[in-house]
Amino acid sequence: MTTFSNALTPSDIWADVLAVRTQRPLVHSITNLVVMNYNANFLLAMGASPVMAHAHEEVRDMAAIAQALVLNIGTLEPYWIESMRQALAIAAQRGIKTVLDPVGAGATSYRNQSISALLAQASPSVIRGNASEIMSVAGVAVQTRGVDSGAAVSDALQAARDLAKSTGGVVCVSGEVDHVLDASGRHVSLSNGHEWMTRITGVGCSATALVGAFCAVQPDAWRATVSAMAYLGVVGQVATQQVQAQGLGVGSLQIALLDQLQLLDRVTFESVLKMASSPITA
């Protein structure tokens, strides 16, 4: 069994960024109808190669040539959930990394059933969602939107730790602070980004796609997730500052995010990054 390091430096993350840019991994995404275009452009701006295919006649063949698989249930239908299940089965069999974005978990019982069906097929390498989604997937009842309050964040982290243990994989809880943790107790928190990123549809979904791209080139899924979320957080913060300095808004931010994904340099990245190890006292 491979043992991965617990320590992670900005240099490590930058090495992963360069690996995506140079290796151009093929990422198979089965995602929602709203964000497909932006997800694909996110991956391309980052240097990865997106492929989107969901027909039952070919979804296994496509999963068989990809370097990572990303599943997103945003606009789920029975046909698409079955596509995801089939792709997940092939990916698990091949040993490529799989990333699940449980969009809207908890909003309807059909979403919860669909997530259960996917988890029953295979445990994803990474699950990324906001606090209420992660709590819902972990089986914790969520009542209100106010889940980002202090008390709720600690509830969400406990749910995330439980979920990581039950799946044996990585869990990322994103929000004002992003937390990335795994079954072995590794935990990093990231404090970049900007609230405006939530005013563009598909940035969360595209973060998940980015995690897939990093997982395709970095065998440690926890490190890959930290690297993807760290990079996107800095990209988002730098892009928002640029846009606001010009008196522009969230439309321009949508474009600036893509530009910075492609162009951000190492010096800026390392000077802006805010990363902290969060020791877990379970």
Q: Is 135 assigned a ligand-binding role in the annotation?
A: no
Interface of this chain with a second copy, residues 198 to 237, rule: CB under 8 A: 198-202
Minimal distance, residue 157 CB to a second copy, in Å: 25
Q: Is 150 assigned a ligand-binding role in the annotation?
A: no
Contact at 8 Å (CB) between 128 and 163?
Answer: no
Of the candidates 277, 198, 201, 182, the one whose C-alpha atom is nearest the C-alpha of residue 233 is 198
Helix 109-121 × helix 78-94 angle, to 10°: 20
Distance CA 142, CA 139 (A): 9
Minimal distance, residue 42 CB to a second copy, in Å: 9
**Which listed residue (22, 57, 267, 281) binds a second copy by CB under 8 A?**
57
Contact at 8 Å (CB) between 22 and 47?
Answer: yes
Residue 177 contacts a second copy per CB under 8 A: no
Q: Rounded to 5 degrees, what are φ and ψ at 142?
A: -120, 130
Residue 176 contacts a second copy per CB under 8 A: no
Distance CA 63, CA 89 (A): 9
**β-sheet with 187-190: strand ranges across:** 49-52, 26-30, 68-72, 97-101, 126-130, 170-174, 178-182, 187-190, 275-277
Minimal distance, residue 228 CB to a second copy, in Å: 18
Among the candidate windows 34-42, 127-135, 156-164, 226-234, which touches a second copy by CB under 8 A? 34-42
Among the candidate windows 6-14, 53-61, 116-124, 271-279, which touches a second copy by CB under 8 A? 53-61
Report residue 106 as tokens: 């908890």
Interface of this chain with a second copy, residues 89 to 128, rule: CB under 8 A: 104, 107-111
**Which listed residue (4, 10, 21, 75) binds a second copy by CB under 8 A?**
75
Residue 266 contacts a second copy per CB under 8 A: no
Residue 251 contacts a second copy per CB under 8 A: yes
Which is it for strands 187-190 and 178-182: parallel, antiparallel or unpaired?
A: antiparallel
**Which listed residue (259, 268, 270, 278) binds a second copy by CB under 8 A?**
259
181 three-state secondary structure? strand
Binding site for a second copy (CB under 8 A): 32-38, 40-41, 44-45, 50-55, 57-58, 61-62, 65, 74-78, 104, 107-111, 198-202, 247-252, 254-263
